[in-house]
Chain A
Amino acid sequence: MPDYVPTNAASSGVKLDKKTLKSIAARSDRPGLIYIAQWIAFLAATGTLVWASLGSIWMWPAMLLHGIFLTVPAYSFSHETAHGTAFRTRWLNETVLWVTSLLYMEEPLHRRYTHTNHHTHTWWVGKDSQMPFDTPMGFGGWLAEITGFALLRFHMQVFVHLAVGHYTDTMKMVTPEGEFAKMTRNARIMLAIYALIAAAPFLGIWWPVWLIVIPRVLGAPVMLLFTLIQHVELQENSPSILESTRSFRSNWLAEFLYMKMNNHVEHHLYPQVPFHALPKLAEAVQEQLPEPDPGFFKTNLEVMSVVLRRSLGRQTKAATIRQAPHMITDGGPVERVAQRTM
Chain B
Amino acid sequence: MSQWIDACATDDIDEEDLISWQHEGKSYAIYNTEKGFFASDLMCTHEEQSLEDGLVIDCVIECPLHGGRFDICTGKALSAPVHQDLKTYPVKVEGGRVFVEIG
Contacts and interface: CB of A to CB of B under 8 A. Distances in A.
Interface of A: 1-2, 6, 18-19, 21-22, 25-27, 83-84, 88, 90, 113, 116, 120, 176-179, 272
Given A88-B57, A116-B81, A176-B83, A2 B62 contact: no
Interface of B: 14, 17, 47-49, 52-53, 55, 57, 62, 64-67, 79-81, 83
Given A2-B48, A116-B66, A178 B80 contact: yes
A176 B81 CA distance: 5
Nearest to B53: A18
A21 B55 CA distance: 10
Contact of B83 (A6, A18, A84, A178): A178
Contacts of A116: 66-67, 81
29 contacts: A1-B49, A2-B48, A2-B65, A6-B65, A18-B52, A18-B53, A19-B14, A21-B53, A25-B55, A26-B55, A27-B55, A27-B57, A83-B67, A84-B62, A84-B67, A88-B57, A90-B79, A113-B80, A113-B81, A116-B81, A120-B65, A120-B66, A176-B81, A176-B83, A177-B83, A178-B80, A272-B62, A272-B64, A272-B67
Nearest to B67: A84
A107 B83 CA distance: 21
A25 B43 CA distance: 20
Contacts of B57: 27, 88
Contacts of B17: 22
Nearest to B81: A176
B46 to A, nearest CB: 8
Nearest to B56: A22
A245 B18 CA distance: 31
Nearest to A23: B14
Contact of B80 (A21, A90, A176): A176
Nearest to A119: B66
Nearest to A2: B47
Contacts of B52: 18
A87 to B, nearest CB: 10
A238 B12 CA distance: 38
B37 to A, nearest CB: 18
Contacts of B47: 2
A26 B17 CA distance: 11
A223 B52 CA distance: 36
A127 to B, nearest CB: 15
Contacts of B83: 176-178
B43 to A, nearest CB: 9
